[in-house]
C-alpha cells in the first residue's frame, strides 16, 4: 500500500513564526502536492512538484513556499505565519503514468494548523 505521512497531525503556531510542514511518501512517486482544505471551499492546491527541485504554483501560492530536495520528501513552508493560514493541510503524491489517464493521488492524513 502507498503510504503518505505528514510530520504532525496537529500544530499550533504564533503569528509571524516560520512553519515547516513535512510530507514523505514511500512509493517513489514523481509528483507531490500540497493542498489546504477549509470549510465550504473544498481542497485548494497550493504548490506541486513533478521532480526533485522542481515546483509549480497551484491556485493559492501566496504566503507559501516549498522545497523538494529528495524525491520522497516535499516540504511546505510558511515564511511568516498569519491567522488566515489556519487550516487543514493535506499532502498527496502520484505516479506519473503518462498522458492517457489522470494519475491517482494518494493523500496523507493531514495536518491541522492553528495560527494564533
Site residues, another protein (CB under 8 A):
4, 31, 33, 35, 40-45, 48, 50, 56, 58-59, 90-92, 94, 96, 98-110
Is the CB of 65 or the CB of 82 nearer to another protein? 65
Query: Which DSSP letter does residue 105 get?
Result: P
Nearest distance from residue 39's CB to another protein, in Å? 9
Nearest distance from residue 97's CB to another protein, in Å? 8
Look at the block and give the residue holding cell 503524491: 93
Query: Which DSSP letter does residue 39 get?
Result: T
Is the CB of 17 or the CB of 28 nearer to another protein? 28
Question: Using CA atoms, how far apart are residues 33 and 7, in angstroms rounded to an integer?
Answer: 15
Give the cell for residue 113: 494548523
Nearest distance from residue 108's CB to another protein, in Å? 6
Would you say 59 and 51 are in contact if contact means Cβ atoms under 8 Å apart?
no
Amino acid at each position: 500500500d502507498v503510504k503518505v505521512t505528514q510530520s504532525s497531525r496537529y500544530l499550533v503556531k504564533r503569528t509571524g513564526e516560520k512553519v515547516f510542514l513535512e510530507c514523505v511518501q514511500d512509493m517513489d512517486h514523481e509528483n507531490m502536492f500540497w493542498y489546504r482544505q477549509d470549510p465550504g471551499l473544498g481542497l485548494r492546491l497550493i504548490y506541486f512538484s513533478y521532480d526533485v527541485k522542481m515546483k509549480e504554483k497551484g491556485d493559492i501560492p501566496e504566503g507559501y513556499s516549498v522545497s523538494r530536495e529528495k524525491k520522497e520528501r516535499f516540504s511546505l513552508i510558511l515564511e511568516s505565519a498569519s491567522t488566515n493560514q489556519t487550516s487543514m493541510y493535506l499532502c498527496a503524491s502520484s505516479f506519473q503514468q503518462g498522458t492517457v489517464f489522470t494519475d491517482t493521488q494518494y493523500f496523507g492524513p493531514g495536518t491541522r494548523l492553528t495560527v494564533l
